[in-house]
Amino acid sequence: MALVKSISGIRGTIGGRVGEGLNPVDIVRFTAAYAVQRRAWLEGGRRGVKHAIVVGRDARISGKMVDMLVSSTLIGMGFDVINIGMATTPTTELAVTGEKAAGGIILTASHNPKQWNALKLLNEHGEFLNDAEGKEVLAIAEREDFTFAEVDKLGEIVYKDYLPYHVDKVLDLELVEQHNIRHCNFTVAIDCVNSVGGLAIPAMLEALGVKNIIRLNCEPTGQFAHNPEPLPQHLTEISELLKSGQADVGFVVDPDVDRLAIVCENGEMFGEEYTLVSVADYVLSHTPGNTCSNMSSTRALSDVTARYGGSYSASAVGEVNVVAEMKATNAVIGGEGNGGVIYPAAHYGRDALVGIALFLSCLAERGGKVSELRATFPNYFISKNRIDLTPETDVDAILAHVKEVYRDERINDKDGVKIDFAKGWVHLRKSNTEPIIRVYSEAATMEQANALAQRVIDMVNEKMK
């Protein structure tokens, strides 16, 4: 059993003893703590904001149980609940601002297997809580400092479907070219891993004018047909379908539909890092400006941004950090190299529906095959490695040593240490969930990326002796 508490929420495996897994007692405790934090925020004299919380969930088997506990707890804390049922993460984020609610809770463990679930906590903007707010919720939960509402002040619950609202928001984007997409008569294959993407992605494609949709794993049963993280080794079914020549492009989403993987017409992976790169290239070609991704994402985005005269900046890892950096630099597009596209013209959250609409608009405008589009971008390879730690390991001392050894290179230390070499980079950061240092590296070939990483790993291992 596992229970992980972080500033963005609480996640864990369903069941187990209190404090050891995600069970009803802990679900109620953390929901109540979040309600206390939101109540205090509202008491700061906020105007135009409802005393309400939006609740949405993915299709996990445990989703209904968790939903009932969360919604009932919020009502018991005196909040009204706008329950949008099975909904994507970006749909829930948009519903918060659409309802002018005080916040939202997304019930999803994202790409984790079916035994996991989580409470992801949103502020009044439909964005993840910042560091201070998240720590406040954790502290309240630890103290169990709750005051529940008296009988005449209990909240109420209403049920709404926000998918049409989300789809309309995407269609209204200036750079989404419905006419061009419809004219191209694309055949699109989708794999929605038996979660809410099976509801949202076909609705989005049909609204865009795509008539030929090949559906794989689109029944939202929560029984994931394969490992739900959209990595190449998990996507053999849709890859084989594309190899057979049945579709022009394939789209794969994770259970809560904030990550997008693309498959070329020949069955080859477009590359999760290049989802954002391709969408950014299209956006920048029409609206030049700045871009942002996290420090462990491909250099290709920086290259593409420079092509259009903009500036690229790297944030600490984590969506909340990317969003903060995007706002600080007025980025017109940004996201993460895991297939997460954040387009401020829509909202400040990773959104696979937005990614699909912009990608198809790009493909329709430029013509040709998906593999040909992929070939137009700078080609890099990322190697992902780790260094196991012991309880005695002084990670700060190790990172300081790395900075000193590579002091003549470009160093970014806002999240661990990233070393930018002329022909590649290495990023070391301590994991928030495991006793390891993650070591990501990138270069023009996988061999070069591996060699860069190994050089730094060997140096760290020598220091740890």
Mapped to the 3 state alphabet, what secondary structure does 143-195 carry?
HCCCCCCCHHHCCCEEECCCHHHHHHHHHCCCCCCHHHHHHHCCEEEEECCCC
Confidence at residue 433, expressed as pLDDT on a 0 to 100 scale: 66
- How far is residue 339's CA from residue 341's CA, in Å, rounded to a whole number? 6
Query: How far is CA 197 from its chain centroid?
Result: 14
Q: Exposed, middle or buried by CB within 10 Å (0-12, 13-18, 19+), for 448?
A: middle
Average pLDDT over residues 301-309: 97
143: amino acid identity, one letter: R
What does the pLDDT read at residue 2? 76
As a whole number, mean pLDDT of residues 202-208 equals 98
For residue 182, name the pLDDT band (cuts at 50, 70, 90). very high
Of 130, 85, 76, residue with least CA distance to 103: 130
pLDDT tier for residue 361 given thresholds of 50, 70 and 90: very high
Query: What pLDDT was estimated at residue 6?
Result: 79
Confidence check: pLDDT of 202 > 90: yes
Q: How many CB atoms lie within 10 A of CB 379?
A: 12
Determine the average pLDDT of the residues in 376-382: 95
> Is residue 143 a contact partner of residue 183, using CB atoms and an 8 Å limit?
no
CA gyration radius, the chain? 22
pLDDT at position 1 over 70: no
What confidence category does residue 400 fall into, taking pLDDT thresholds of 50, 70 and 90? Answer: very high
pLDDT at 429 over 70: yes
- Which pLDDT score, from 0 to 100, does residue 48 have? 86
CA distance 374 to 250: 14
pLDDT, tens digit, 9 for 90 and up, residues 136-180: 999 999 999 899 999 999 999 999 999 999 999 999 999 999 999
Can you give the pLDDT at residue 7? 73
Confidence class of residue 5 from pLDDT cuts 50, 70 and 90? confident
Instruction: Please report the pLDDT score of residue 463 as a whole number.
Output: 80
In whole angstroms, give the CA distance from residue 219 to residue 194.
Answer: 5
For 224-268, write each residue's pLDDT tens digit.
999 999 989 999 999 999 999 999 999 999 999 999 999 999 999
The pTM assigned to this predicted structure is: 0.95
In degrees and rounded to multiples of 5, residue 412 shows phi and psi of: -125, 120
Give the model's pLDDT for residue 116. Answer: 95
- What pLDDT is recorded for position 107? 98
Q: Which tokens sit at 264? A: 């070329």
Which pLDDT band, with edges at 50, 70 and 90, does 392 fall under?
confident
Smallest CA-to-CA distance from 430 within 395, 456, 398, 463 is with: 395
Please check the confidence at residue 280 and state whether its pLDDT lies above 70: yes
Short-list 322, 373, 347, 328, CA closest to 173: 347
Q: Which residue, among 170, 217, 162, has the nearest Cα to 191 in the 3D structure?
A: 217
pLDDT of residue 252: 98
Our CA dihedral for 271, 274, 279, 283, rounded to 10 degrees, sits at -170
Contact (CB, 8 A) for 181 and 364 = yes
**H or E segment and range at residue 336:** strand 331-336
Which phi and psi (to 5°) does residue 46 adopt?
A: -75, 130
**Residue 423, number of CB atoms within 10 A of its CB:** 11
Contact 73, 35 (CB under 8 A): yes
Angle at 132 between CA 69 and CA 11, to 5 degrees: 35
pLDDT > 80? residue 8: no
Ramachandran assignment for 45, one of left (phi > 0), alpha (psi -120 to 50 degrees), beta (any other): left
